[in-house]
């Protein structure tokens, strides 16, 4: 069978049988497009794609100057394809079974937001809200919505996609109970416990109630559509600039800050894993590296041994 048709079959499997997100499917399609164009693999019979050709393709990816993380992702996508073909008995042996691939990638620590900048950002937006006289204006409503999004990102550690796609039926603004559909359609629950965060969510809901009830999404934009991930990113950048915060802020940094601060407060990493929706504890453990960095700083500056001086 021809490679291009088998890739289409695999994409169908990912979309309708594995229920992967549209964003993931798009990434898969882009990776496969690059694979098919290499030496016209697209028109080959799948049995012609052996480990020699696959190794050649991986070497080619390195020549493009791609980061190890990107190369690793592309290889994982290909492995997924050939695992599927083997499982469906379209091929007898997955060529990756005979390959030893080790793609080393540098460990990059998640970037967090300094607490002083979180404080500065929230103080700034609350002041804007307080200074708007016309409580019926869209300007006031939009600021309330923006604060609600910021509070939710910081207090729950949700992914920006999870906030943007939050359904109105999945949040109880009275109790602060939120049902989240995460990666791989895995459902988890998380609570908003801070009263001020709950209050702003309640106020947002009261202002946008009619629009929310007419749509399935909780956060609504000026056009009465879903408040998109890109819009959330631009909103954060806007307030960062206006509040004169020098640190570059992104929505995902709120998630990293949420996890890191809980870890610093002594919360068990497995609880943090559940709140973040990580399927593997190893994904969550990257935050322990940040904690260790802080631990070193604490021991170097706060340990009482610093005050014990002995003269000879």
Q: Is residue 252 among the annotated active site residues? A: yes
Catalytic: which of 145, 159, 198, 256? 159
Catalytic: which of 84, 217, 239, 287? 287
Catalytic: which of 15, 60, 167, 183? 183
Burial 85-112 (b: 16+ CB within 10 A, else e): bbeeeebeebbbeeeeeebeeeeeeeeb
- Within 10 Å of residue 179's Cβ, how many Cβ atoms? 14
Partners of 188 in beta bridges: 180
Q: Are 248 and 240 a contacting pair, CB within 8 Å? A: yes
Q: Is residue 242 among the annotated active site residues? A: no
Q: Is residue 255 among the annotated active site residues? A: yes
Catalytic: which of 145, 198, 255, 256? 255
Q: What distance in Å separates the CA atoms of residue 123 and residue 118, rounded to the nearest whole number?
A: 8
What are the backbone dihedrals phi and psi of residue 187, each rounded to the nearest 5 degrees, phi first?
A: -95, 140
- Who's near 271: CB < 8 A, 6+ residues apart? 262
Catalytic: which of 104, 278, 289, 297? 278
Q: Is residue 179 among the annotated active site residues? A: no
Active site residues: 159, 183, 252, 255, 278, 287
């Amino acid at each position: 069978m021809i490679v291009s048709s088998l890739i289409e079959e695999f994409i169908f499997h990912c979309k309708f049988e594995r229920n992967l997100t549209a964003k993931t499917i798009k990434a898969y399609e882009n990776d496969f497009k690059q694979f098919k164009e290499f030496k016209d693999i697209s028109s080959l019979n799948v049995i012609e794609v052996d480990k020699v050709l696959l190794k050649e393709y991986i070497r080619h990816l390195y020549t493009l100057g791609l980061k190890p993380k990107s190369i690793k992702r592309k290889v994982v996508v290909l492995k997924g394809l050939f695992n599927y073909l083997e499982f469906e008995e379209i091929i007898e042996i997955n060529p990756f079974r005979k390959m030893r691939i080790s793609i080393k990638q540098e460990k990059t620590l998640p970037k967090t937001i300094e607490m002083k900048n979180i404080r500065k950002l929230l103080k700034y937006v609350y002041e804007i809200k307080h200074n708007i006289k016309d409580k019926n204006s869209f300007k006031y409503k939009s600021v309330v919505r923006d604060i609600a999004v910021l509070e939710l990102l910081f207090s729950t550690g949700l992914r920006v996609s999870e906030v943007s796609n939050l359904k109105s039926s999945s949040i109880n603004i009275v109790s602060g109970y939120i049902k989240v559909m995460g990666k791989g359609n895995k459902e988890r629950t998380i609570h908003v416990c801070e009263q001020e965060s709950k209050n702003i969510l309640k106020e947002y809901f009261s202002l946008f109630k009619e629009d929310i009830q007419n749509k399935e999404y909780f956060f609504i934009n000026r056009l009465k559509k879903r408040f998109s991930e890109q819009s959330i990113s631009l909103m954060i950048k806007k307030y960062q600039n206006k509040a004169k915060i020098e640190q570059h802020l992104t929505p995902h940094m709120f998630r990293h800050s949420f996890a890191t601060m809980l870890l610093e407060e002594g919360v068990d990493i497995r609880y943090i894993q559940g709140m973040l929706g990580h399927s593997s504890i190893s994904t969550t453990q990257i935050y322990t590296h940040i904690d260790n960095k802080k631990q070193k700083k604490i021991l170097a500056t706060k340990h009482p041994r610093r005050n014990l001086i002995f003269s000879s």
